[in-house]
Amino acid sequence: MKLDKPLNLTFTQPAQKISQAGSESEAQQLEELKKELQVKNQEISELKIKNRQLQQENLETQERRRLMGEELGKAEAQIELIMELMNENQEKDQ
């Protein structure tokens, strides 16, 4: 199908209406983004606090583990000493 004249596909609106609608939409988007940013900042703050708490718990756990390791070493040494003393007493009795 041939057209006798080219189609006019330009859509014109008053420039003022376009800029107002655009600025209102942009302002609304900006407000939504600000709210989202505030929520994300709050989440970040809460996660930082939780991270500090977990790091502190981790340090305390490591210290307890180190102390338990030392106590275990002492207990093993005492058991070995007791076993040696028992063996010496048995050898003397024989």
Ordered DSSP codes for 1-33: ---SS---------HHHHHHHHHHHHHHHHHHH
pLDDT value, residue 73:
97
- Asked whether residue 16 is assigned to any structural domain, the reply reads no
**Local confidence band at 65 (pLDDT 50, 70, 90 cut-offs):** very high
**Domain hosting residue 85, numbered range:** 25-94
pTM of this prediction? 0.55
Q: What is the pLDDT of residue 9?
A: 56
pLDDT value at position 72? 98
15 lies in some domain: no
Question: 13 in a domain, yes or no?
Answer: no
Tokens standing for residue 73: 């070493």
How many whole angstroms separate alpha carbon 54 and alpha carbon 62? Answer: 12
pLDDT at res. 93: 76
Return the structure tokens found at 24. 């209102």
Structural domains in the chain (count): 1
* Best CA proximity match to 55, nearest among 63, 67, 40: 63
Looking at residue 51, its pLDDT comes to 98
Q: Is residue 5 part of a domain?
A: no
